[in-house]
Amino acid sequence: MGSFLSQPLQQIKVPAPPEATNSAESLLRPAPGAPTSPAEAPLFNNCWSCRVLSGAGLIGAGGYVYWVARKPMKLGYPPGPGTITQMVIGISIACWGVVILSDPKGKAFRVD
């Protein structure tokens, strides 16, 4: 009887890690035909519906963050640094949504 801390510690033997073999190195290599560069694997899908959904969601989220920060100001409280930061973050999230919607580099269109 007694607590776990009052009992002596047991020695646990940890085996040494195995040496790297050719099979381990082959797991790190990409499979043939797999995209190897960032240009081949797009971050977002290029379909119009995906861009509209994610862009509109980000604009809505940014508007909500901005609106929550703006609410105390409408009641007459002076804005502090936290409120200003929250407003800037809200505007930034909304701008990110606009960038996704507008697709400035033209990645969504195939250029032959």
* Cα four-point dihedral sign 22, 26, 29, 32: positive
Q: What is the mean pLDDT of residues 42-62?
A: 82
Query: Averaging pLDDT over each range in 9-18, 49-58, 81-90, which range is the top one?
Result: 81-90
Structure pTM? 0.55
Distance CA 55, CA 100 (A): 5
User: Is residue 39 situated within a structural domain?
Assistant: no
Backbone angles phi, psi at 108, to 5 degrees: -80, -15
User: Is residue 67 situated within a structural domain?
Assistant: yes
User: Is residue 60 situated within a structural domain?
Assistant: yes
**Is residue 38's pLDDT more than 70?**
no
User: Is residue 89 situated within a structural domain?
Assistant: yes
Distance CA 3, CA 69 (A): 51
**79 vs 46, more confident:** 79
User: Is residue 79 situated within a structural domain?
Assistant: yes
Among candidate residues 74, 66, 112, the one with its CA nearest the CA of residue 91: 66
In the chain, alpha helices (H): 22-28, 48-74, 81-102
Domain count of the chain?
1
User: Is residue 32 situated within a structural domain?
Assistant: no
User: Is residue 84 situated within a structural domain?
Assistant: yes
Q: Which domain holds residue 83?
A: 46-102
